[in-house]
Structures are given as structure tokens and as C-alpha cells.
A and B are shown apart, each in its own frame.
Chain A
Amino acid sequence: MPFSLTPGEIYETIRMIQSENLDIRTITMGISLRDCASSSVARTATKIYDKICQKAKRLVSVGEEISREYGIPIINKRISVTPIAVVGEACDGRDYLPLALAMEKAAEQVGVNFIGGFSALVHKGFTRGDENLLNSIAASIAATERVCSSVNVATTKTGINMDAVYRMGHIIKETAELTKERGAVGCAKLVVFCNAVEDNPFMAGAFHGLGEPEATINIGISGPGVVLNAVKNNPQADFGTLAEIIKRTAFKITRMGELAGREAARRLQVPFGIVDLSLAPTPALGDSVADIIEAMGIERTGGPGTTAALALLNDAVKKGGAMASSYVGGLSGAFIPVSEDAGMVRAVEEGSLSLEKLEAMTCVCSVGLDMIAVPGDTTAETLAAIIADEAAIGMVNRKTTAVRIIPVPGGRVGEKVVFGGLLGSAPIMPVSRFKADSFIRRGGRIPAPITALNN
């Protein structure tokens, strides 16, 4: 077979990796812990630790092997597990902290930096296990480094569990308080979802859904830098051409994920799950979704036109990516976290990007109000109301939305809180001073929308 690649193509790939931050953001192994249930918390914790260590013992070394052979950086190796509320349900004990500690210990043992799945699905109500888990979240996050927690409070099919929304307002406050010495970093590991997906490879919201197999490999790709350069190189292109350029770029980026995923699954002898097409920014220079929006011609992200630009970007990435992968899943949309995207941080600091504009942007992309720092005096009721708004957007539009918000204890508008690493740093943003207390305290569920009745 003659060799068919051109030097131009080879240099393009190398340029994407070496100077445009193209990487595989995460190889996430989903592991079912359903067989770890037992009547004792201590026994369940032991089984959780053993199972994770057994299933994931080669995850990091295989990830590093693939990274070296193909010359593509794989930034994170991570694990997602069955929602712990399900695993812990059969336990007599009510404190699930030992289960979180078992996850932490296993994650440390196998060498992953985050493990997701300290989670509960409560969109229609609480079981005993859900109650226990929710009561254990704040202490568990505070006592661990790597454990991530998520709670699904709404779906299009069931409506919004407003009791759960209100409780999450309180749990976020409590988590902030318990981790205040570290800039309330605990809240960066706690996500509130509407329409949570079962195969999300990205933290902090990853968990291994109940319809998933024993174990699986899900891939999260990255590549805002590559898309940014493609957009920058075509300043005069009309929208059709621009969409086409982004599609082509997204195709190439996604192929990397597809290759890494297939290889990792083969070497680890677990089924390949999905490639998540999300554009995931990092605090690194040029690796920013906000920069792409600005390269399209918006002076500052958050200004008029931002939502339209983001809609075009998000759609083109999906169209290109969907063609490149045999299985697409997860969240699959551009992420707009504030702290993890230097361009977003700049837009907030210059007064261009507000909480309300971010909310509008979440209507057209993945995934929600993400990594947003707000003043420490923001009440649980106001946090709950913000969550409810975001859940309503997800519920009505049949999409995933999420809230990862950080009420920084003692923090005031304009100050900056630093989390470090991929979590970046966030300017504290103003929140509306008008209250929703009486609304939130009504309790009960917001019924599913008419759009859910599609059978």
C-alpha cells in the first residue's frame, strides 16, 4: 500500500498538538458498583475500594502508553461510578462518608485525579439512600480531594423536584463553609443537574449510569485552541463558510478522541462507550471558548451577538464531531465555565459578561452556569432560585443543564478566588438583590412540561 499522507497533513496534526493545545482532555472509566451493595457501610466501602482498584488498575498506565505512542497528550485519567445513593441504599448506616473515603482511597491508589459518582438521582423524589447521600455530601467533599458529587434534580419527563433544588441551595452553602479555607473549592466538585446524562466523561458531573455496562471507556476531547486558530485564519468568511471550517476542524479533533477511545478500550478489555464532543476550555492562553466567540467578531464575550455566535459554534462542532465518531454521547456541547476559561474571566472583569447573559448562553450550548463565583452572602434561597431557572431551561428545551456555583464565604463582588490547576480562578460576580424566598419555599414539584408528552 503506498503511503498516502501529505507532509502538509502531517504538519497540521503536529501543529494542532504542539502549538494549539489539542489534547484528549480525559479518558474516563465508568465502573458499575451495583454489586458492592451490602447491609453494612464498612463492608460496602471495602467492596467499593476493591472493585475500583481491580477494574482501574491499568487505566493510568494504558493512558500513558497511548499518549506516548501516538504523541497526543492525554491530560486526565478519571473514574466514574454508579451513583453512590444506589450503592449505599441497602446499608443500615446513614452516614455515607466512609463510602466517599473508599472512593478517595481507590482513586489515589490507581492514580486518577478525580472520581465522580457521589451522586443521587432525585428528580421525582427521595429514597432512603438519596436522603442519606444528600446529608453526607458536604462533609464528604470537604474530607476528600478527588471525590466529585452530582445531584440530578429535574428531567424533561418528570419536571423539577423543587424540594431537591432548595436542599441543594443549602448543601452548596454548607460545602462552601466547610471548604472556606481553600476558597470554597468544594463547590467546584458539586454539580446540580437537569437531564443528567449517564455517560458523561467530564468532571465534576460524571457518574456511571444505571443503563451502563459493568465497565466502559468514555472520552472527553478538547480543542478550543484549534478551533480558535481556524476561525482566526478566516476573518472575512461568511457564516456558512465559517460553520464549514469549524465542522472540518471538529471532525479532525474528534477523530483523535475516537482513536484514543478505541485503543484504550481494546487494551483495557472493556467496551468503548462514547466520545463526548464538548469543546472544553482550560485556563491556558488561547484554549478558550470566549476567544473563539471574540474571533468571530464579538468585541467581548457577553456583548450582543454572543448567544448567536455560541449557537453557531456549538452546532458546527456537533455536526463535524458526529461524523467522526461511531458513538457520540455525554454532554457534547461547548462548555462555558467562567473560572476555567481565561477569556470568560476577562469578559467578567471588564463588565461584559453577567450571570444573566451566561444563563441565556446556556440555552444554546452545554452545559450550564459553570464555575461561577458569587458573594458569600448569597442565600440558599437565591442559589436555589438560580438552580431552578437553569433546570427550567433544561427541562423545557430537552437538554442537559447544570449549575456549579461557588458562594465564596466572606467574598465580595470584584474580588477574585483562586482554585489553581484546571479549575483556574474566578472573579466574584454580582447576583440580583431581589429575592425569590417565597417562591422557593412553596415546596413540591414543578410538573413536567407539555413537550414531555411525546408518546
Chain B
Amino acid sequence: MKEEQQRAIITVVGRDKVGIIAGVTSALSEQNVNILDISQTIMQDFFTMIMVVDLTRAAVSLQELQGILARKGEEIGVQINAQHEDIFKFMHRI
């Protein structure tokens, strides 16, 4: 049977600068978090990125990852949220 994925949505918002994606993705790869999809735009100077990630083989739990990303966000100067995918699926898909 196919292993069920544990997916989370990571959103990154902040003033655009060099190294945001590198900073976030390296933090994720350090914890063995697999990135499934990335969508990124610049809206009025603001960098916004949505990532879909899979935590099935991650070294940490979602809660621990939230802490790691929050610290990373402070370091780079952007706001990073990580939320369980279900909250979005429940709200927008029947």
C-alpha cells in the first residue's frame, strides 16, 4: 500500500531580498522535508511564496518544524507560517 503523505503548507511573506528561497529550502532540506510544489510571486515589493511539503520522512514533527521556520524567518526578516494541509482542504474542497 502506498504510504500516506503528511503534507503541510508553508507560506512566506516579507520584503524581497536575496536569499529567501535559499534560506527556507536549506532549512527544509536539513530536516529531510520534501518540497512537492512551489509558487512564488512579488506583489508590490512583497515577496510571497507558497510551498507544499511532505513531512512523511522528515526528521522533525510539524510542530518542531514550525519552530525552526519561525527562527529562520526572524533571521532572514520574513514571516513564515507552516500549517497542516487539511485546514485549507477542509475549507475549500468538499
Residues of chain A whose beta carbon lies under 8 Å from any beta carbon of chain B: 3-5, 7, 9-14, 65, 68-72, 252, 255-256, 258-259
Contact = CB atoms under 8 A, between A and B. Distances in A.
Given A10-B50, A14-B81, A70-B86, A256 B36 contact: no
B62 A69 contact: yes
Contacts of A69: 62-63, 83-84
Contact of B88 (A10, A65, A258): A10
Nearest to A253: B91
Contacts of B7: 3
Given A3-B52, A7-B39, A7-B50, A259 B66 contact: no
Contact of B87 (A4, A11, A65, A259): A259
B88 A259 contact: no
A65 B89 CA distance: 19
A72 B37 contact: no
B32 interface: no
B32 to A, nearest CB: 19
What 10 pairs between A and B have smallest CB-CB spacing? A71-B83, A70-B87, A259-B90, A9-B92, A255-B90, A69-B84, A255-B91, A252-B91, A70-B84, A3-B52
Given A68-B63, A70-B83, A5 B11 contact: no
Contacts of B66: 68
Contacts of B33: none
Given A3-B36, A255-B90, A255-B91, A10 B9 contact: yes
Interface string B1-35: 00000010101000000000000000000000000
Chain A binding surface SS class: helix
Given A10-B88, A71-B82, 5 more contacts: A9-B92, A10-B11, A10-B50, A71-B87, A252-B91
Contacts of A258: 90
A223 B19 CA distance: 37
A14 B79 CA distance: 12
B92 A71 contact: no
Interface string B32-74: 0000110101000000101010000000001100100000000
Contacts of B81: 14, 71
B63 A5 contact: no
B36 to A, nearest CB: 6
Nearest to B39: A7
Contact of A259 (B11, B48, B82, B86): B86
Contacts of B87: 13, 70-72, 256, 259
A11 B66 CA distance: 18
A12 B93 CA distance: 13
Nearest to A252: B91
A14 B11 contact: yes
A256 B91 contact: yes
Nearest to A16: B91
Given A10-B50, A70-B83, A70-B87, A3 B37 contact: yes
B63 A13 contact: no
Contacts of B37: 3
12 contacts: A4-B93, A10-B11, A12-B92, A13-B87, A13-B92, A69-B62, A69-B84, A70-B84, A70-B87, A71-B87, A255-B90, A256-B87
Contacts of B52: 3
Given A3-B37, A14-B11, A252 B92 contact: yes
Contacts of A4: 93
Residue from B63, B66, B88 having most chain A Cβ neighbours under 10 A: B88
A11 B86 CA distance: 15
A65 B66 CA distance: 12
Nearest to A14: B11
B24 to A, nearest CB: 16
